């Protein structure tokens, strides 16, 4: 048989069976080369090793079988708007009739004499007693050459997502042909060292095993091929995780190697000076994070650190310590926050913490007046401001620092890649501290955030009172406001009420802040009720927030704009309506807004009337624990890593086969192997540069966004 001369990088139009038109369709679906197509994995498998003959079919039992079309015809039946397509199928052992409704194209695709695989539930027709199938699944089989094993039957077959009009059987056959022509291929993107201690198959056997498995890991269960217990699958899970860990380690190494000149101060004495001025004693976790920052900032290579701490864990003072050190070594600092409210609040707290040390702090946001802004920018340029706190106003070109050495990005996931890059570029290899109040599960911290060093504030400052969380059942929702909220006014405590929407959307049973502001204002005419949404102008927002903080407003109706930052000591109660619409981590952040004063808090989660039992059940973890990390693990399990990653890691692959919850063991293995590869010993060095090139080329080929990601901190 003549073999097409294919390689992994061959474009798909060069594959004889594909042709130009289908190559175009494939390209639209994201497959350009043979390699791309081989990474189009089946999403399930069918065991067709022993398909029954027609005579063996049992009425009432669904089965798949291969048959030839003897005759096919269209029938118009009265009272039926669609034509009926009827076919007689035979296989030498017997005959069966198949009936479809309205699928006229079958007349073309299944002409007499064609062969196909049919799947359906045979029944004895009550009309004429013949064995028939109603609307069976059809999978066209091309005439196989004599002696050539079919890709479609007599084996465990892969099933692919249909894509751009290309059927699963098209993918199966094409991939089958490609694998036949590549048979014996020895390509291997992973370095040799990973095979020494791990039992994973090499690349080609694994690719064959993914597409055309020979056996089932668990008897009678084709789904068992989808788990990493099946070695070919484990190989690709490992591969994905290894690529990611390699990229993270690589980037970390690059940053470590980019040294810069900097005057360094002895941090021991400085620390006593700094803590001496604090109104409280730092927690052990804060002390540890401060040590880590001081040690980073004492090195010649820049800091690149993630400060992870639940709402209220006290990140601000840790960030301030970095600014203090930066100041003491003669450098400026900048803190960027995602909202005006938050920037304002940071400005107030940082100023209080740092001004006593002679650190000149300024606020720069869109709302600063033009003339003031000009003067401020000039002062920054001259070096007369030591710390600038602001929103993304900080990244405007006109703002030029005299010597920016330390950058804090608060709620990093709210910023885009470009925004962070632009701020970082205002300094020369500055130290970077990114902070987030979204607890990041360990597996994510080790993978998608693996390029950052990690400091965790896992301890609450003393005196923080617990927040009790309660899901309000439907049976109680009618009297909820009178029973649970009215008394809060009487106690003089304040209330947050949060809605998923700003305004009415037309969607039934989905509440919005604006409408409910009206409803609640009418219900309690004597109470002072405020409204805060992301749509309002900043001045309005700031004044509402100030009124709420100072106690002038008793109940604040809002959207998730209150999610980050705001500190209202008198607020003890939060109500979240349509709670099922929010992510768990987000709800956890929201409830962190209450109980920040001297009284304990209660958070009521009210599922909407349309909330499914499942989506309400999901909320229960919030009743059970206040540990943000447990909540985050659950959120990761339910919703995948996307929510956490935000834009920081855009350009990086999302996983095709790995699962960060299920595959933590393989992740640790991949991480270990990647670090071994990144730090070669003298013996392994010889093969190393070749392996390195192969690996890098492969990764960049598979994930075109990676190149850019590598360039950005």
Instruction: Summarize as ranges the residues that interact with ligand ADP (CB under 6 A).
Output: 280-283, 286, 309, 311-317, 437, 461-462
* Smallest gap from residue 491 Cβ to ligand ADP (A): 22
Place of tokens 């981590």: 585
- For ligand ADP, the closer of residues 389 and 669 by Cβ is 389
In the complex with ligand ADP, which residue's Cβ is closer, 66 or 325? 325
Q: How far is the CB of 349 from ligand ADP (least distance, A)?
A: 7
297/317 with CB nearer ligand ADP: 317
Q: Is 456 helix (H, G, I), strand (E, B) or coil?
A: strand
Nearer to ligand ADP (CB atom), residue 225 or residue 342: 342
Q: CB-based contacts of 534: which residues, under 8 Å, 6+ apart?
A: 502, 559, 560, 561
Instruction: Work out how close the CB of 447 gets to ligand ADP at its nearest, in angstroms, rounded to a whole number.
Output: 24
Q: What share of the chain is helix, strand, coil (3-state, %, to 5)?
A: 40, 20, 40
- Residues 317 and 435: their CA atoms lie apart, in Å, by 12
CA distance 140 to 144: 12
Q: At its nearest, how many Å lie between ligand ADP and the CB of residue 279?
A: 7
Burial code (b: 16+ CB inside 10 Å, e: under 16) for 310-330 equals bbbbbbbbbbbbbbbbbbbbe
Q: Which is nearer to ligand ADP, 463 or 665 (CB)?
A: 463
- 140 Cβ contact list (under 8 Å, min separation 6): 109, 110, 114, 116, 167, 169
135 Rama sector, left if φ>0, alpha if ψ -120 to 50, beta otherwise: left
Pull the structure tokens for residue 681. 């010993």
Q: What are residue 272's phi and psi, to 5 degrees?
A: -60, -40
**What minimum distance in Å lies between the beta carbon of 610 and ligand ADP?**
33
649's enclosing H/E stretch is none
Q: Which is nearer to ligand ADP, 308 or 556 (CB)?
A: 308
Minimum CB separation of residue 437 from ligand ADP in Å reads: 6
Q: How far is the CB of 628 from ligand ADP (least distance, A)?
A: 11
CB closer to ligand ADP, 4 vs 569: 569
Distances (CA, A) of 369 to 333, 344, 363, 417: 22, 15, 11, 28
For ligand ADP, the closer of residues 421 and 460 by Cβ is 460
| Number of residue whose CB is nearest ligand ADP | 314
d(CA 713, CA 301): 13
The DSSP bridge partners found for residue 119 are 64, 137
CB of 458 to ligand ADP, least distance (A): 12
What does each C-alpha distance from 493 to 58, 147, 555, 572 come to in angstroms?
71, 83, 9, 6
Tokens 């987030």 identify what position? 436
Separation of alpha carbons 566 and 599, rounded Å: 17
Is the CB of 15 or the CB of 323 nearer to ligand ADP?
A: 323
* Identity of the residue, 283 or 365, whose beta carbon is nearer to ligand ADP in the bound complex: 283
Strand partners, 574: 496, 603
Q: How far is the CB of 310 from ligand ADP (least distance, A)?
A: 7
How far is Cα 444 from Cα 435, in angstroms, rounded to an integer?
15
| Contact status, residue 225 vs residue 213, Cβ threshold 8 Å | yes
Smallest separation (angstroms) from ligand ADP to the CB of 648: 19
Task: Specify the residue, 147 or 462, whose C-beta has the smaller distance to ligand ADP.
Answer: 462
What is the closest distance, in whole angstroms, from the C-beta atom of residue 223 to ligand ADP in the complex? 44
């Amino acid at each position: 048989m003549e073999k097409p001369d294919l390689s992994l990088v061959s474009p798909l139009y060069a594959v004889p069976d594909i042709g130009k038109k289908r190559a175009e369709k494939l390209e639209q679906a994201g497959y350009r080369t043979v390699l791309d197509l081989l990474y189009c994995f089946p999403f399930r498998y069918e065991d067709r090793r022993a398909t029954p003959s027609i005579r063996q079919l049992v009425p009432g039992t669904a089965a798949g079988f291969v048959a030839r079309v003897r005759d096919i015809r269209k029938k118009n039946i009265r009272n039926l708007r669609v034509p009926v397509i009827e076919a007689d199928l035979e296989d030498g052992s017997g005959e069966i009739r198949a009936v479809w409704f309205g699928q006229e194209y079958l007349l073309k695709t299944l002409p007499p004499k064609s062969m196909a695989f049919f799947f359906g539930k045979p029944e004895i027709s009550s009309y004429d007693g013949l064995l028939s199938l109603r609307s069976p699944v059809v999978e066209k089989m091309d005439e196989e050459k004599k002696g050539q094993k079919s890709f479609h039957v007599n084996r465990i077959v892969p099933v692919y997502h249909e894509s751009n009009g290309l059927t699963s059987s098209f993918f199966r056959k094409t991939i089958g042909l490609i694998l036949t022509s590549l048979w014996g291929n020895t390509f291997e993107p992973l370095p040799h060292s990973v095979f020494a201690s791990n039992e994973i198959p090499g690349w080609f056997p694994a690719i064959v095993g993914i597409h055309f498995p020979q056996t089932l890991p668990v008897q009678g269960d084709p789904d068992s091929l989808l788990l990493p217990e099946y070695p070919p699958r484990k190989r690709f899970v490992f591969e994905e995780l290894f690529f990611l860990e390699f990229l993270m380690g690589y980037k970390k190494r690059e940053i470590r190697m980019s040294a810069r000149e900097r005057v360094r101060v002895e941090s021991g004495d400085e620390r006593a000076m700094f803590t001496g001025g604090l109104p409280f004693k730092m927690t052990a976790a804060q002390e540890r994070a401060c040590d880590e920052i001081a040690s980073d900032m004492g090195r010649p290579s820049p800091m690149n650190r993630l400060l992870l701490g639940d709402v209220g864990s006290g990140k601000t003072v840790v960030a301030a310590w970095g600014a203090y050190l930066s100041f003491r070594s003669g450098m400026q600092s900048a803190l960027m926050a995602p909202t005006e409210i938050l920037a304002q609040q940071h400005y107030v707290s940082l100023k209080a913490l740092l001004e006593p040390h002679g650190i000149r702090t300024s606020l720069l946001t869109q709302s600063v007046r033009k003339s003031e802004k000009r003067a401020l920018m000039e002062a920054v340029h001259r070096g007369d401001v030591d710390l600038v706190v602001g929103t993304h106003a900080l990244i405007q070109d006109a703002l030029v620092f005299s010597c920016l050495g330390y950058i804090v990005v608060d709620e990093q996931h709210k910023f885009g890649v470009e925004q962070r890059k632009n701020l970082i570029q205002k300094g020369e290899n500055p130290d970077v501290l990114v902070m987030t109040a979204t607890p990041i599960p360990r597996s994510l911290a080790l993978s998608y955030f693996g390029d950052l060093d990690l400091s965790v504030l896992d301890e609450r400052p003393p005196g923080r009172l617990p927040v009790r969380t309660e899901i309000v059942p439907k049976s109680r929702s009618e009297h909820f406001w009178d029973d649970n909220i009215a008394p809060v006014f009487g106690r003089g405590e304040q209330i947050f009420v949060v809605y998923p929407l700003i305004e009415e959307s037309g969607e039934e049973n989905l509440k919005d802040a604006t409408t409910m502001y009206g409803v609640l204002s009418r219900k309690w005419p004597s109470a002072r009720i405020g409204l805060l949404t992301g749509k309002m102008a900043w001045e309005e927002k700031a004044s509402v927030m100030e009124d709420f903080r100072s106690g002038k407003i008793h109940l604040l109706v809002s959207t998730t704009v209150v999610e980050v930052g705001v500190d209202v000591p008198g607020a003890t109660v939060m109500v979240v309506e349509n709670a099922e619409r929010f992510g768990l981590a987000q709800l956890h952040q929201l409830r962190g807004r209450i109980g920040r004063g001297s009284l304990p808090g209660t958070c009521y989660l009210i599922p909407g009337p349309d909330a499914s039992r499942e989506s309400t059940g999901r909320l229960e973890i919030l009743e059970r624990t206040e540990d943000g990390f447990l909540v985050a693990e659950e959120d990761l399990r339910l919703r995948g890593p996307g929510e956490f990653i935000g834009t920081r890691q855009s350009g990086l692959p999302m996983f095709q086969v790995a699962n960060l919850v299920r595959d933590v063991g393989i992740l640790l293995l991949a991480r270990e192997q990647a670090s071994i590869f990144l730090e070669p010993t003298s013996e392994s060095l010889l093969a190393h540069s070749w392996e390195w090139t192969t690996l890098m080329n492969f990764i960049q080929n598979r994930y075109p966004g990676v190149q850019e990601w590598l360039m950005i901190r």
